Structure 1
C-alpha cells in the first residue's frame, strides 16, 4: 500500500544526506555503466566477425587454384593449375553425402549494354546452387536453373545496381542486353547482403560461358556447401581430405599453398566461436568483478549510513515506531537509490555505445556495439537485490537495539 508519509521521509532523508546518497548512487551507476560498455564492446566484436561473412553461407567451402610454387613429380615451379569439369564431377561424386550445394565459378569482365547505357561489370558463370552459397536474394524473376545449363542458354541474372545503372526505374526483366557482343535475356534481378560490389555482378550459366568464351571445360573455382548435419570438426576434416585428394589428382606438392587452397567456413566458424567464448569468459569475469565491487560499495555505504542513523532509530522507537517500519523505510530508500542509479548507468552506457556506433569498426573491429536489454536489466536487478540486502541486514540489527542503547550510540 502506498504510504505518502514514508516516501516524504525517504526523500527528506536523501535530501539531508546528499553526499551519502550521491556516493551510493555513483557506486551503482558506475558498476552498471562499466558492465554495459564491456558487454557492448563484446557484442560489437561478435557483430564484426558475423558481418565479415554475411554474404556467404555459413557452411561454404571455396576451392581455388593458381600457379605452383614448388616442383613436384618432375613438374616445374610456376605451372598454372587448371580446374576442369572432371574435377568438379569428381568432387560431386566422391563426397556426395557430405555436400549440400555445389557450384563451379568462372570469372569474366564484360561490357553490358542496353540502348545508350553501357558499363563493364564482373560476370560470373555459375551453377544454380550458387544462389544458396552466395545467399543471393531474388527481387524479380528467377535464378538460373538446370535447364539453362543443359541448353547453354544466353540468360543473365543481374544485380540490383546493374539494373539501376542500365534501366533506372524501368523494368529490366525480359529485356535483352548486349554482353560482349552477344544478346542475353535478363531473367532475374537480385540483391545481396554483401554490399554494393556484390550487387554490381551478373550471373550466367557456366556451360554458356564455357561454350562461348574459350570452347573448353575450364572452371576457375569450385564452391560448395557442406552438409549442415556435419559437426564443425567433421566439416574441417572433410575439407582437409578433399584438399589432399585434389592435390594428388592435380599433381600438386602437399605443402604448396599457393597452387591450391580450400577456404573452409567451418574453420572460420570454429575460430570465431573460440574467440567469442574466450571473450565472453573474460568479459563475464570482469563484469562480475564490477558487480561485486558495486555490491561491496553499496554494503559499506549502507553499514555506515545505518550506524550514522542509529540515534534516529532510537528516537523513532521511543516514540512508538515498530522495528518493521524502520527497516522498511531504510530498505525502500536503498532500493530507490539503487534503481535510479542503475537506470542512469544503463542509460548513459547505452547512449555512449550508440554515440560510438560503427566508428570503431575500421581500427578496432567493433561493429554496432550494443548490449541486450535482458543482460543489463538482469545485472541491475542483481544490484537492486544487493541494495535491498545491504540495507536490510544492518537496519534490522539497528532496529532491534533498545531505544536507550540506540540513544547512547556514538
Structure 2
C-alpha cells in the first residue's frame, strides 16, 4: 500500500539535507557516467572492426594465381600460373568438410546498354555460392542458380544502382540488356551494404563468361568461406594446407609467394579477436574499478549519513517510531537518490558519446554506444551496495535506546 506520509517525509529529509544528497548523487552519477563512456568506446572499436567485413564474409579465403618467382623442377622463372575449373572442383571435393561456400570468379568490364542508356560496369562471372560470400541481398527476382551454370544461360543479376542508371523507376526484371553486342535477361536485382561501388556490379554465370568471352575453362580467382565451426587457428592451418596443396598441384616451389597467393581473412579475424579480447579485459578492469570506487563512495556516505542522523533516530523512537520504519526511511531514501543519480549519469554518458561520437571516427571508433542493460545492471549493483552499506548501521542505530541516541547526537 502506498504510504503518502512516508514519501513526504523522505522528500522533506532530502530537501533538508541537500548537500548530503548531492554528494551521494554525484558519486553514483560520476561512476555510471564513466562506466557508460568506457563501454561505449569499447563497442565503438568493435563496430569499426565489424565494418571491415561489410563487403564480404568475415570467414572468406581468396585464392589468386600469378607468375612464378623461383625456378622449380626445371621450370623457368616468370611462368604464368592459371587456375581452371578442375582446380575449383579439386578444392571443392578435397576440402568438402572444411568449406562452407565456394565459387570461381571472372572479372571483366563491359559497356552495358538498355535502349538509349548505357554505362561501363564491372561484370563478374560466379557460381551460386557467391551470393553468400559477397553478402549480396536479393531485392527483386533471384540470384544465379545451378541451372544457369549447367546450361550456360545468358542471364544477369544487376546491382540496385545499375537498375536506377539504366531503367529509372521501371523494374529491370525480365528486361534484356546488351553487353557489347550480346543480350542478357535480367533475372535479379540486388543490394549490398558495401556501398555504391558494390551496387554497381553485375553477375553472370561463370560458364557463360568462359564460353562466350574466354573460350576456355580458366578462372581468375577462387573464393571460399571456411566452416564457421573452425577456430581462427584451425582456419589458418586450413589456409596453409590449401596453399601447399595448390603449389604442389601447379608445380610451384613451396616458398614461391607470387605464383599462388592465398588471402585468409582468418588472419585478420585472429588479430581482431586478440585485440578486442585484450581491450575487453582492459575495459572490464577499468569499469570494475570505477564501479568499486562508486560502491566504496556510496557505502562510506551511507555510513556517515546514518551516524549523522543518530539524534533524529532517537527523536523518532521517542515519538513511537518502530525500528522497521526507521530503517525503511533511510534505505528508501538511499535507493531513490542512487536510482535517480544513476539515471542522470547514464543520460550524461550517452549524451557525451553522441556528442563526441562523430569526431572519434578518425580514431577508429565507430558509433560508440552501450546497451542499457549493462548500465542498468551497474546501477542495480550500486543501489544494492548502498542499501547493504546503509542497512547494517541503520539496523544498529534503530535498536539504540532513545535517550542514548539523543545524548550521542
For the aligned pair, the TM-score class normalised by the smaller chain equals over 0.9
What is the CA-CA distance between 1:377 and the residue it aligns to? 0.9
2 CA distance for matches of 1:295 and 1:92?
58
Q: In the alignment, what sits opposite 1:163?
A: 163
Q: Flag structure 1 segments of 5+ consecutive residues without an equivalent.
A: none
What is the CA-CA distance between 1:229 and the residue it aligns to? 4.2
Helix, strand or coil at the partner of 2:64: strand
What is the CA-CA distance between 1:293 and the residue it aligns to? 0.4
Residue 14 to residue 70, structure 1, CA distance change in 2 (3 Å):
farther
1 CA distance for matches of 2:115 and 2:386?
74
Q: In the alignment, what sits opposite 1:221?
A: 221
1 CA distance for matches of 2:204 and 2:282?
48
Write out aligned runs for 1:37-76 (5 A): 37-75=37-75
Q: In the alignment, what sits opposite 1:384?
A: 383
1 CA distance for matches of 2:276 and 2:8?
49
Instruction: Please say which of residues 272-281 and 376-385 is displaced more in the overlay.
Output: 272-281
Helix, strand or coil at the partner of 1:144: coil
Q: Does 1:280 align with 2:274?
A: no
Q: In the alignment, what sits opposite 1:90?
A: 90
Instruction: Please say which of residues 89-98 and 371-380 is displaced more in the overlay.
Output: 89-98
Write out aligned runs for 1:317-332 (5 A): 317-332=317-332
Q: Does 1:114 align with 2:114?
A: yes
2 CA distance for matches of 1:155 and 1:359?
45
Q: In the alignment, what sits opposite 1:204?
A: 204
Residue 177 to residue 349, structure 1, CA distance change in 2 (3 Å):
same
What is the number of residues matched between the two proteins? 409
Q: In the alignment, what sits opposite 1:404?
A: 403
Q: In the alignment, what sits opposite 1:28?
A: 28
1 CA distance for matches of 2:175 and 2:74?
53
What is the CA-CA distance between 1:77 and the residue it aligns to? 5.0
Q: In the alignment, what sits opposite 2:297?
A: 297
2 CA distance for matches of 1:99 and 1:352?
45
Q: In the alignment, what sits opposite 1:364?
A: 363
2 CA distance for matches of 1:68 and 1:19?
78
Helix, strand or coil at the partner of 2:321: coil
Residue 122 to residue 359, structure 1, CA distance change in 2 (3 Å):
farther
What is the CA-CA distance between 1:304 and the residue it aligns to? 1.8
2 CA distance for matches of 1:96 and 1:4?
72
What is the CA-CA distance between 1:284 and the residue it aligns to? 1.4
Residue 398 to residue 113, structure 1, CA distance change in 2 (3 Å):
same
2 CA distance for matches of 1:364 and 1:66?
36
Q: In the alignment, what sits opposite 2:148?
A: 148
2 CA distance for matches of 1:75 and 1:17?
90
Backbone CA RMSD of aligned residues: 2.1
Residue 232 to residue 342, structure 1, CA distance change in 2 (3 Å):
same
Helix, strand or coil at the partner of 1:246: helix
2 CA distance for matches of 1:400 and 1:70?
90
2 CA distance for matches of 1:25 and 1:189?
56
Instruction: Please say which of residues 345-354 and 294-303 is displaced more in the overlay.
Output: 345-354
Q: In the alignment, what sits opposite 1:14?
A: 14
What is the CA-CA distance between 1:153 and the residue it aligns to? 2.2
What is the CA-CA distance between 1:44 and the residue it aligns to? 1.7
What is the CA-CA distance between 1:106 and the residue it aligns to? 0.9
Q: In the alignment, what sits opposite 1:132?
A: 132
2 CA distance for matches of 1:67 and 1:402?
95
* CA distances 1:163-185 after superposition (whole Å, capped 9, x unpaired): 01110110211211121232222
2 CA distance for matches of 1:62 and 1:212?
25
Q: Flag structure 2 segments of 5+ consecutive residues without an equivalent.
A: none
Q: In the alignment, what sits opposite 2:314?
A: 314
What is the CA-CA distance between 1:393 and the residue it aligns to? 1.7
* CA distances 1:106-126 after superposition (whole Å, capped 9, x unpaired): 111111111221111111111
What is the CA-CA distance between 1:23 and the residue it aligns to? 1.0
What is the CA-CA distance between 1:357 and the residue it aligns to? 4.1
What is the CA-CA distance between 1:74 and the residue it aligns to? 5.0
Q: In the alignment, what sits opposite 2:374?
A: 375
Residue 114 to residue 257, structure 1, CA distance change in 2 (3 Å):
same
What is the CA-CA distance between 1:162 and the residue it aligns to? 0.5
What is the CA-CA distance between 1:216 and the residue it aligns to? 2.6
What is the CA-CA distance between 1:257 and the residue it aligns to? 3.3
Q: Does 1:250 align with 2:257?
A: no
Q: In the alignment, what sits opposite 2:238?
A: 238
Helix, strand or coil at the partner of 1:360: helix
Helix, strand or coil at the partner of 1:2: coil
What is the CA-CA distance between 1:24 and the residue it aligns to? 0.4
Q: In the alignment, what sits opposite 1:187?
A: 187
